[in-house]
């Protein structure tokens, strides 16, 4: 079930929205929905990386928080040059969970 949301945006944001609408050939509602979804996805990835850096999540759990497959998340970490604060046992647990298809 979808919900209706409304918000106020600054002039620059509105101009960026219009640019996106032209580039993607979509109406305003579709553009806002897609950009909001992209923002939420980005936030989930950032939160997952932060949890991992703080040692509050394993790689597998962080990938789940990010909403992406494990290997995609590992690629993201590699691109960002994230050093993993994890123990060898965490890696073993993550591999076992991945092989079982569980989070």
Q: pLDDT averaged over the chain? A: 90
**Cα distances (angstroms) measured from residue 63 to each of 33, 39, 43:** 24, 17, 13
Nearest to 51 by CA among 30, 31, 73, 33: 73
Structure confidence by residue, pLDDT tens digits, 45-67? 999 999 998 989 988 899 999 99
CB atoms within 10 A of CB 91: 14
Q: What is the pTM of this model?
A: 0.72
Task: Tell me which residues of the chain have a pLDDT lower than 70.
Answer: 85-87, 102-103
Predicted pLDDT at 73: 94
């Amino acid at each position: 079930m979808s919900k209706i949301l409304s918000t106020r945006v600054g002039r620059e944001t509105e101009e960026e929205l219009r640019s996106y609408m032209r580039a993607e050939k979509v109406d305003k509602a579709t553009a806002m929905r897609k950009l909001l979804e992209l923002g939420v996805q980005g936030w989930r990835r950032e939160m997952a990386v932060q949890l991992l850096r703080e040692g509050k999540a394993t790689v597998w759990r962080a990938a789940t928080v990010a909403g992406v497959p494990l290997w995609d998340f590992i690629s993201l970490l590699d691109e960002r040059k994230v050093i993993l604060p994890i123990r060898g046992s965490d890696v073993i647990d993550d591999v076992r969970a991945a092989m079982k298809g569980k989070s």
